[in-house]
Amino acid sequence: MERYLLSGNEAIARGAYEAGVQVCSAYPGTPSTEIFENLPQYQDALYCEWAPNEKVAAEVAYGAAIAGVRSLCAMKHVGLNVAADPLFTAAYNGVGRGFVVVTADDPSMHSSQNEQDNRYYAKAARLALIEPSDSQECIDFLKEAYCISERFDMPVLYRTTTRVSHSKSIVTLGTREEIPAVPYRRNEKKFVSSPANAYENHPKAERNLAALEEYGCTSPLNRMELRGTKAGVITASVAYQYAKDVFPEDTSFLKLGLTHPLPMKLIREFASKVEKLYIIEELEPFMEEQIKAAGIPCTGKELVSRLYELNPQRLREMVFGVKPQVKELPVSAVSRPPALCPGCPHRGFFYTMSKGKDFVITGDIGCYTLGAAPPLNAMDTCVCMGGGFSVGMGMSKAFKVTGQTEKKVFGVLGDSTFFHSGMTGAAEILYNQGNMIPVVLDNSITGMTGHQDNPGSGYTLQGGTAAAIKIEDVLRAYGYQNIIIVDPQDLAAMQKAIDDALASQVPAAVITRRPCLLIKRIKHDTGLCHVDSGVCIGCRKCLKVGCPAVMMKSGKSFIDPTQCVGCTVCAQVCPVGAITRKES
């Protein structure tokens, strides 16, 4: 057998291949994205796609399972909020072939707006929950997840965390098992979720869950590691790796891979073998609450914080009071807050908006969230995907009823987000006559998560060409009569677009359109900007565009040639013409 070093996400992609999965659908989101980026290498054996959003991905994958083939969908933790609607119903209905949903949680919010613990979704929706702790388990547990889904007739929630998703460990690869499709036959009592059918299906789901709990007591996913009687630890996921580092060698472990439903008989048996029982888990006391409710004495969140990602140093200090040895460096690191890339097409838009005193800008999830950062300071809110339009609508109505008519609301989101959940917000603005301007920042790609294609890009995950849906066609079909398309790096045109939208007597929308400079398939102009220090007056206005390539040296503006891409936004801002672009 060949052995490789794979990340958890790479291993999950491999596990899907080995498990005989045939249909895969996802929406990109860190830390889950690389699962689907690694699936096209297996496209001779399976179909994979980027869906417009997580709800669609879950429905596509579930539909494939109903039709009789094993299916997979994946998303980051907040994406499960979007996909929850079909998932709760699928738990009552059951499956045809195995149906697995990967949720990649993000403790410490490395790239997220919250650190919700999605294990509670399994409990609320009545789903099986499986948690691998390393890359080999990502493969092996995924294959077992499909067996569980089919044996107990339920979807499986497959939870990873950032550390499991992105850490690499050695794996042994297996071969693909070709799983025959289950011939499709109409079964309206099972799959038509009318109230009467749901009434009948709920008890079945509960019976299956009870049977799964019994199975969990002997499942290979759950194992005891008995080494001593003084202390025992019940743990799962990457917390197992940390606890193994921290606790003494004679500590016994109950390592759980199937964490919902919890195998209470097995837990009672393990608890009876140790004098003191610890529950070590990241974030919420998901296991601890249930174990204490079952009357089993244990120690957990009294010691281990429910905030942020664990690591061996934090865990050692929390449990044993051993502080990490930290050596102070003689110099402090320079603060490097995130910023829009040099040449980012969004910069011109946010610079223009930053000059409007009465502008309220409701933002969204994406590269353009960085428009909130200094020196641009051009965003008031960022809640969730699609919220750029819908939150703005609520604010505009509030300003209207309170008489604050001087405030002009702009709702901002990107092209991928428009297709994800922005179209309903655009309909809301028009239908309920919102006093606001929707703005789509179209950079021709899903930028923040690493350049995945979307319905507007013209390409699919498997590398094929596709019909590119035009944002302006959608807005026009809705009824927006004044659609202004502008190159945001032309600051004069950008200002005129904002002014024209505000002055419009009919429903208006703005689309800023320029491809992201990092898209490899697009050839961009070459040439760099240069400062004539003899002309520069040191006014520092060029710094207000927030470009990392622009800085001050000896009281004069300076442009770092290793970062500049020649977008000329700084040159357009310079009041004395000290910045010019030189063709390479």
pLDDT at 336: 78
pLDDT at 451: 85
Query: Mind listing the pLDDT tens digit for each residue in 323-359?
Result: 888 787 788 777 777 889 898 999 999 999 998 888 9
Q: Are 234 and 279 in contact (CB under 8 A)?
A: yes
Average pLDDT for the chain: 93
Most distant CA pair in the chain: distance in Å? 82
Q: What is the CATH number of domain 3-216?
A: 3.40.50.970
Please calculate the CA angle 578-579-584 and round it to the nearest 5 degrees.
Answer: 140
Interatomic CA distance for residues 235 and 567, integer angstroms = 52
pLDDT-derived band at 455 (thresholds 50, 70, 90) equals: confident
pLDDT of residue 446 exceeding 90: no
pLDDT of residue 579 exceeding 90: yes
pLDDT-derived band at 277 (thresholds 50, 70, 90) equals: very high
pLDDT of residue 82 exceeding 80: yes
Q: Does domain 528-582 have CATH number 3.30.70.20?
A: yes
Q: Is 181 exposed, middle or buried (0-12, 13-18, 19+ CB in 10 A)?
A: middle
pLDDT of residue 562 exceeding 80: yes
DSSP 88: H
What kind and span of H or E run contains 102?
Answer: strand 99-105
What kind and span of H or E run contains 353?
Answer: helix 346-353
Q: Does domain 346-513 have CATH number 3.40.50.970?
A: yes
pLDDT of residue 525 exceeding 80: no
Specify the pairing of strand 231-236 against strand 276-280: parallel
Quote the tokens at residue 271: 């608890």
pLDDT at 31: 95
pLDDT of residue 459 exceeding 90: no
Of 93, 33, 41, the closest CA to residue 63 belongs to 93
Query: Mind listing the pLDDT tens digit for each residue in 26-43?
Result: 999 999 999 999 999 999
Sequential DSSP letters for 255-274: EESEEES--HHHHHHHHTT-
Query: Mind listing the pLDDT tens digit for each residue in 184-223?
Result: 999 999 999 999 999 999 999 999 999 999 999 999 999 9
Options 3.40.50.920, 2.40.30.20, 3.90.180.10, 1.10.10.10; CATH for 224-320 is 3.40.50.920
Of 527, 516, 552, the closest CA to residue 345 belongs to 516
Mean pLDDT of 233-249: 95
pTM of the model: 0.90
| Cα→Cα distances 413→50, 426, 440, 482, 493, Å | 19, 11, 5, 18, 20
Query: Mind listing the pLDDT tens digit for each residue in 355-413?
Result: 888 899 999 888 888 988 889 989 999 998 889 999 999 999 999 999 998 899 999 99
Mean pLDDT of 60-79: 96
What kind and span of H or E run contains 98?
Answer: none
Sequential DSSP letters for 54-87: HHHHHHHHHHHHHTTS-EEEEEETTHHHHHHHHH
Amino acid code (one letter) for 83 = A
What kind and span of H or E run contains 26?
Answer: strand 23-26
Residues 6+ apart with CB under 8 A from 448: 365, 366, 367, 369
**Equal CATH topology for 224-320 and 528-582:** no
Residue-range domain boundaries for the chain? 3-216, 224-320, 346-513, 528-582
Query: Mind listing the pLDDT tens digit for each residue in 501-511?
Result: 999 999 999 99
pLDDT at 584: 63
pLDDT at 1: 66
